[in-house]
Chains A and B, each alone.
Chain A
Amino acid sequence: MRVQALHKSFGKVRAVDDVSFDVRRGEFLTLLGPSGCGKSTTLRLIAGLERPDEGEIEVDGRLVTSPRRGVFVPPEKRGMGMVFQSYAVWPHMTVFENVAFPLRVRRKPQSEVTSRVRNILEIIGLAGLADRPAPDLSGGQQQRVALGRALVSDPTLLLLDEPFSNLDARLREGMRVEMGELQRRLGLTTIFVTHDQTEAMMLSDRIFVMNGGRVEQAGTPREVYEHPASRFVMDFLGRINYLRAHVARLTNGRPGVRLADGAEVALVVPDGVAEGSAVTLAFRSADVELSMSVDGTGWAGVVQTVAYMGGREEYVLKMAGSDEIKAERATENLTLGTPVRVSVPPHKIRVWAD
């Protein structure tokens, strides 16, 4: 599947702004971003539920959307399956009829409908509930129905629009695992939209982080997490600390930055940032190392708050200057007011010019 140079505006708002990507067969691709970033609109453009202002969409070598060439295949002719955020399970039908719908509207013979729906219900674990009216189901069951309906007619592409956001935490975890397994087992090409980076990390072959209608970064979960291309991406993917610093030549003559309290960190500074200019150091709370030896290396800080999180603790540290940073560690039983030394492996620190 190929998406090229998609543009879509609602009034003055540019919801999707020049988005292009390819999806390989069998790939699980995630569009990740905060609400309003254009991820859902991109998905709806692929689905054919919206029409783009510009750009082209091709599925299996078949052009399905191209305003320039006057091509628009309506959604029902695209052969895709979709799970909606609200599940959109039809309340006036039974479980069986909900799942059977895609086959019925394609006028498949009754025997085929029955066997395929039974098969799908088996797969999604609702075999015993075929004749239940849809409103009688729990949230998780409704979601399975929605999934079954999306799968029943062997879609070329499975579209998932925040399918887990209405589930409670435990159910969500279970469904994630199941969905991942199912996708791999059936080899489904899947496009998944979410704002939850954990979900994205867990399930995806590739993640596209979107912001303001544009793709900020694309890559495998590891690439995106470890080498965020922008401050936004980094910020979105984990708990981030920021420290203000200045570019400086360190006492040992190597390039680096100097913090407010004079501490020096040897770092590769982005090209074109002159010595003396202000920068921000960004690093994840999980990468912060603490040591209690007062004379050790690292930056000086004082424990300001402690939050016990079950097996882990989160500390807020007051640093020299007025910056605060958060550190996540396995329990170290630090008490309030304890002076600590903070260090972060230099390769885990990103430097952004202010």
Chain B
Amino acid sequence: MTTAEEAAWEKQTYEAAKNEGKLVVYGFWNPDLEKVTRDFLAEKYPGIELETLTTTTATDKIRTERQTGQFVVDAYLGGGTTALGLADLGFTEKFAPPAESLAGSQWKVQPSSYMSFPSVVYAIQGKGILINTTLVPKDKEPKKFEDLLDPFWSGKKIVMDHPGRGGGPGGSWARWVSDTPTLGRTFLEGLKAQNPVLDAGSAAPDIDATARGEYAAYLPAYPSSIPQVPGAPVKFIWPEQTGGATPTMVAMMKDAPHPNAAKLYLNMQILPEYQQKISQVLWISPNLLGVAVPDPIVSLEGRNVTVDTEADTKRNTNWANTIGKEIFGQ
């Protein structure tokens, strides 16, 4: 698709979306991401009001609404597990944004077709380790996951996402287990011996507590989890072997009350300007390659990350849940 074609589609869709006047998105997990989106929308497509809901139970909410005959939500934003769940219920609709096929665009994974279910992958969250730099001296910084099994760490507290936190952590767990012989169950059993904290609640407070020095390391962390305060005593480390990567996506709802706004929004998510914006502000790794990033750590280019596939998504959470229970008893 040429830039002109894309522009024509955009103009036409924007006109229709303006008449709809509103866009409702569920699943925003980050207030900053919401702010970026809102500001971007206001600047590029004025006249479309954004309404959001942050929830871990988007599937239930949407199902409940639909059962009561309320078609409120236009798009879902979040991880693959929920998007898949919504697709299974027949609530989402496939849409390939024109920006995907713009000439010259190179993607880490193909946005609308990497998954077979309706989704547009706009970012890839690669997973590593977040450490507290006050508690971990330079020479003790882990270079790979196994380094956390070093006796140095037995006195330090590690906080880990419980696989029950969702597909992202679940994917990591699955990968730690499946990456034999380097990691495998031995790694998790070794970690267990270090007596880590397994937290099934929200991840943000743990990242925070790591910055405070309550924990020496948090895993799995994304580059975007780093508190962006100069001088903050934390550091993100890409381990030598992969912690996996989670595709982050948007999906359009079937019978969306504002379908044009939804299409415009899906398209917007993968526009180069937006991709750049979220990487600059939030340190989210963009799916579009060649985007200027604020720090090399944000970029996925040249990194050996395996992006979770649909098959991974399907088995990750439950698999990891069983192993979590087997090894950690939680």
Instruction: Tell whether any CB of A sits under 8 Å from a CB of B in the complex.
Output: no
